[in-house]
Chains A and B, each alone.
Chain A
């Protein structure tokens, strides 16, 4: 069965031409056959998924179906799920089963969504490749179709071969092969949607962690306005910037999920209290009333020719179709990533003091003193990247450095935020920029530099929106000459989701991006066989 969009699935479910069981079965099938991509940290048991599908089918029969009834979705493994382990991709939380649901989880469940599992990520969301998880990297699903130069490693997921009896045609180790990364840190959530294992997913976006993998995996990634979606139960990285992110195949799918998830939450005082008005994307936007800004600082060194030309083509197309397109300046965009880095480390140093091994999490080491136990548990529980950010953060927060680094970075943050205010108050409706410098990089290239260096390159176009708290949308528009997704980003003023998504929908409609459809791998009998997967 073809991979449906969330909207198509809902339409067919309501009509009765498709059952919730069929939708779930289709996703489960794709989930099983892409297990070697290491997309999920924890899969929900098949029985409970099928039971939930049965209840959803009943809801449709009785006419009591809710907004997301019967729709399979996935959550990044930093959203707390009651009774389902929530690891953040860290040894620290491998044994952690939250006693409560994050608000995003409970809202989706109460709207009838079916949770497929918890998706893989860089440890605690710190990274831009989804390579730094304690259970191993996520492999970009586009590797399955793009090239014969890359091959999918099988050793990242050990259960696969035994349980499903699949045997990849070559036994290869990760280090022996080269493959395209899926970006991060919500790489699992982006890959889960791209591979068709769910119809929508949640990531988190602190500095681009939803938009970056959306860009590399060819799905739509929405970072909503800070304060629109509840962070309750989203394990914090940087409280002043974290937002839940939404990933789906299309802009309309993102909108449907947003409508189900947005709004004030009594458990998160940083959600705004205005009541949220659900909307649908407008089909009839009048481009002549639209003023698009092209921030010139977003042409950064290292941008690929293909990304640049997509950016130009799209800006020119909007202009040709009647929109006003102007070059604008966000003068502090170049320094944004440095500012982000300092603020991130400082908040991490503070936030991560909760992990001491006593109330929850890894406890190991000497029981001679509290300090020894804390130090050893934290040392063994965190990877190098997390430890490095804690140490750097505590350096910036030392009394003698506090003004020089932390307050300085907060001052620069205001300048960045003012850049956006100035652009939007000058009459600009939306900014159009690339999401990333290039298509998905190869793992061999990506691992040549350390995590910090890569984040400083990878997140340059995405961190500004987090600094200012404004909404942003990454849209896949075209395939590169290597057959990989190329994406652009729209950034709007606070709470402009409705307009931003409508323009995104217009662009998406124009571009007709060829989504990854693993159903094409199915054999004539409609079964996705291991053979068809491995003989591309």
Chain B
């Protein structure tokens, strides 16, 4: 049966295929990453209740627990490392195809008569329409007590700071 001894036999047979050469390898022997000077980083802005409500309103998803708030803080903190890079005079890169002309088709109808297919994935339809509840009603205010620990700790530390 296939077992560890077969594996080790395979291993032994393969170990020598690239024989180490004595010459100095071009692969660096030690990690080359520069240490990050955290003192140079801008302060990570505080995430307060107002910001959370704003983000939830535009995202239409909730930060449902303290872990979510911490995760957002960590994401922002990590992103702030970008500020260590000098980008003076560098234009933003939107697409790697920026120096090409993208193909545009003629503005003609090429498909159609697919009403049934289009509606087939909707949970609710009426006659030939998608059904949505009334619009322009602001989202109800959500109770944020469950985030109080993270948010209070912040305002406390702010008070101390």
Contact = CB atoms under 8 A, between A and B. Distances in A.
Interface string A65-88: 000000000000000000000000
B137 A370 contact: yes
Contacts of B56: 375, 391
Interface string B107-136: 000000010011011111000001111111
Contacts of B78: 338, 341, 452, 456
A306 B90 CA distance: 39
Given A334-B34, A370-B132, A417-B93, A391 B63 contact: yes
Contacts of A320: 21
Interface string A494-536: 1000000000000000111110000011000000000010011
B86 to A, nearest CB: 9
B76 A395 contact: yes
Contacts of A334: 33-34
B103 A269 contact: yes
A223 interface: no
A410 B19 CA distance: 43
Interface stretch (A151-159, A184-192, A196-204, A297-305): A297-305
A477 to B, nearest CB: 8
B103 A405 contact: no
A311 interface: yes
Interface string A338-363: 11011001000100000011111101
Interface in B1-55: 1-4, 6-8, 10-11, 14-15, 17-21, 23, 25-34, 51, 54-55
Given A411-B93, A478-B14, A512-B17, A335 B81 contact: yes
B2 A520 contact: yes
A452 B71 contact: yes
B135 A369 contact: yes
A162 interface: no
A374 B137 CA distance: 12
Contacts of B20: 312-313, 316
B61 A360 contact: no
A361 B133 CA distance: 16
A272 B14 contact: no
B140 interface: yes
A379 B81 contact: no
B97 interface: yes
A408 B82 contact: yes
Contacts of B4: 147-148, 483
Contact of B10 (A342, A468, A514, A535): A514
A147 B140 CA distance: 54
B112 to A, nearest CB: 13
B94 A308 contact: no
Q: What interface size band does chain B fall in?
A: 35 or more
A323 to B, nearest CB: 11
Contact of B79 (A271, A341, A511): A341
Contact of A394 (B11, B19, B55, B83): B55
Nearest to A299: B28
Contacts of A359: 118, 121-122, 130
B139 interface: yes
Contacts of B84: 335
Given A311-B27, A349-B59, A391-B72, A301 B33 contact: yes
Contact of A392 (B72, B104, B136): B72
A264 B103 contact: yes
Interface in A88-114: 95-97, 99-100
A135 interface: no
B91 A335 contact: no
Contacts of B21: 316-317, 319-320
A382 B61 CA distance: 9
Contact of B121 (A96, A303, A341, A372): A96
B68 A384 contact: yes
Nearest to B20: A313
B34 to A, nearest CB: 7
B100 interface: yes
Interface residues of A, number: 113
Nearest to B35: A301
Given A371-B138, A511-B14, A394 B26 contact: no
B20 to A, nearest CB: 6
A319 B30 contact: no
Given A272-B97, A359-B122, A378-B60, A300 B33 contact: yes
A395 B72 contact: yes
Residue among B8, B21, B26 having the largest count of chain A Cβ atoms under 10 Å: B26
A266 interface: yes
Given A269-B104, A370-B137, A395-B76, A240 B96 contact: yes
Nearest to A381: B61
B92 interface: yes
B11 to A, nearest CB: 5
Nearest to B86: A415
A299 to B, nearest CB: 5
Contacts of B7: 145-146, 479, 483
A378 B28 contact: no
B123 A357 contact: yes
B134 A391 contact: no
B160 interface: no
Nearest to A328: B26
B79 A468 contact: no
A469 interface: yes
Given A396-B79, A479-B11, A270 B90 contact: no
A319 B23 contact: yes
B64 interface: yes
B33 A479 contact: no
Interface string A460-484: 0000000011000000001101010
A315 B25 contact: yes
Contacts of B8: 483
Given A294-B27, A358-B132, A396-B79, A99 B14 contact: no
Given A408-B82, A483-B7, 10 more contacts: A99-B114, A313-B18, A319-B26, A368-B137, A372-B139, A375-B56, A388-B71, A388-B72, A469-B97, A513-B14
8 contacts: A315-B25, A369-B134, A394-B55, A413-B93, A414-B90, A450-B71, A456-B78, A478-B15
Which 9 pairs from chain A and chain B are nearest by CB?
A: A469-B96, A410-B92, A99-B117, A369-B137, A360-B121, A313-B18, A411-B87, A414-B93, A363-B123
